[in-house]
């Protein structure tokens, strides 16, 4: 089984709808991240969480919110989706100790907002 | 501030010939540097990382990268390209203020010609 899973893998929705993307991990990591990928722009950080009570904005948090329900679960919400939020979304995790600087990525969720 | 620049958005090589993907970085701190690979419709997989140990870093699938502080570069190389290497490659810098936040390059798409 994959260590970092994302659901759904694909989603098509309409402008104005509320959308939630979910991320779960079995790696036992404290830190979790949400990124979006757009062609030619690489990945950009939306939000990150270093533990259940620690949530931080990334460089492009406007229009998004997150919830860290448990150590293993980190959800990303689009309260009112708009077409320019069409992108590939990735969740990632990182741990502590000697490997703390390495992030492990989920398979991604492709979101299309019409 | 940290930044990373991937100098080529697209690289084409013939199967069996060497691969060179170029990455320059900027960092006020001693950086950690990474290369990730993304195959079509897949998540990101760690190829290799540099964390201030040996300057020549060996990764998976025959890839390696050399950290050159004087040139602020971390180029990715492979002696002989294989068709399965066709993918998008991302150079990443991390290490700012202990947050371990990633800054991604914009990616290099590698095409391998038969």
- Other residues' Cβ atoms within 10 Å of the Cβ of residue B49: 20
Contacts of A32 in chain B (CB under 8 A): none
Tell me what pLDDT residue B100 has: 67
Through-space distance between the first and last CA atoms of chain A, rounded to whole angstroms: 33
Q: Mutation test of the interface with chain B: which of A101, A104, A108, A109, choosing the one with the most B Cβ atoms within 10 A?
A: A101
- Give me the phi and psi of B96, to 5 degrees please: -75, 115
Tokens in use for A57? 């904005």
User: Does residue B88 have a pLDDT over 60?
Assistant: yes
pLDDT per residue over A58-105, tens digit each? 989 999 999 999 999 999 999 999 999 999 999 999 987 767 788 999
pLDDT band at B71 (very low <50, low <70, confident <90, very high): very high
Query: What's the rounded mean pLDDT across residues B29-35?
Result: 87
A33, HSE (Cβ side, Cα atoms, 13 Å): 24
What is the overall mean pLDDT for chain A?
93
Tell me what pLDDT residue B101 has: 80
Tell me what pLDDT residue B99 has: 63
Q: Are B12 and B111 in contact (CB under 8 A)?
A: yes
Q: Does A47 touch chain B (CB under 8 A)?
A: no
User: Å from B41 to nearest chain A CA?
Assistant: 8
Q: Between B96 and A22, where is the model more confident?
A: A22
Radius of gyration of chain B (CA): 14
List residues bridging with A104 in a β-sheet. Answer: A93
User: Does residue A21 have a pLDDT over 70?
Assistant: yes
Query: What's the rounded mean pLDDT across residues B84-98?
Result: 85
Tell me what pLDDT residue A25 has: 96
User: Å from A30 to nearest chain B CA?
Assistant: 13
Tell me what pLDDT residue A58 has: 92
Q: Does B73 touch chain A (CB under 8 A)?
A: no
User: Å from A31 to nearest chain B CA?
Assistant: 10
Q: Are A51 and A70 in contact (CB under 8 A)?
A: no
pLDDT band at B31 (very low <50, low <70, confident <90, very high): confident
User: Does residue A8 have a pLDDT over 90?
Assistant: yes
Q: Does B84 touch chain A (CB under 8 A)?
A: no
User: Å from B16 to nearest chain A CA?
Assistant: 27
Q: To the nearest whole percent, how much of chain B has pLDDT over 70? A: 95
Q: What DSSP letter does each residue of A59-110 carry, written as one string?
A: TT-TT-EEEEEETTEEEEEESS--GGG-EEEEEEEE-SGGGTT--EE---EE
Q: Is the peptide bond before A8 cis (omega within 30 degrees of 0)?
A: yes
Q: What's the farthest any 2 CA atoms get from each other in chain B?
A: 45
CB contact under 8 A, A100 and B42: no
Q: Does A41 touch chain B (CB under 8 A)?
A: yes
Contacts of B94 in chain A (CB under 8 A): 101
Fill in the DSSP letter of residue B84. G
What is residue A11's three-state secondary structure? strand
């Amino acid at each position: 089984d994959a260590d970092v899973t994302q659901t759904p893998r694909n989603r098509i929705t309409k402008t104005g709808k509320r959308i939630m993307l979910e991320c779960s991990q079995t790696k036992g990591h404290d830190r979790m991240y949400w990124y979006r990928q757009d062609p030619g722009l690489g990945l950009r950080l939306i939000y990150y969480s270093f533990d259940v009570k620690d949530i931080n904005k990334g460089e492009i948090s406007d229009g998004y919110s997150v919830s860290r329900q448990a150590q293993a679960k980190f959800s990303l919400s689009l309260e009112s989706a708009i077409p320019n939020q069409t992108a590939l979304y990735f969740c990632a995790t990182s741990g502590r100790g000697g490997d703390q600087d390495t992030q492990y990525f989920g398979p991604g969720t492709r979101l299309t907002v019409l | 501030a940290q930044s990373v620049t991937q100098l080529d958005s697209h690289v084409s090589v013939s199967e069996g010939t060497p691969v060179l993907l170029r990455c320059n970085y900027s960092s006020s701190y001693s950086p950690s540097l990474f290369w990730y690979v993304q195959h079509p419709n897949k998540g990101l997989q760690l190829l290799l990382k540099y964390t201030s140990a040996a300057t020549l870093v060996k990764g998976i699938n025959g890839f390696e990268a050399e950290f050159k502080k004087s040139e602020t570069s971390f180029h990715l190389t492979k002696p002989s390209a294989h068709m399965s290497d066709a993918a998008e490659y991302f150079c990443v810098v991390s290490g700012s203020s202990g947050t371990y936040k990633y800054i991604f390059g914009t990616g290099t798409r590698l095409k391998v010609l038969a």
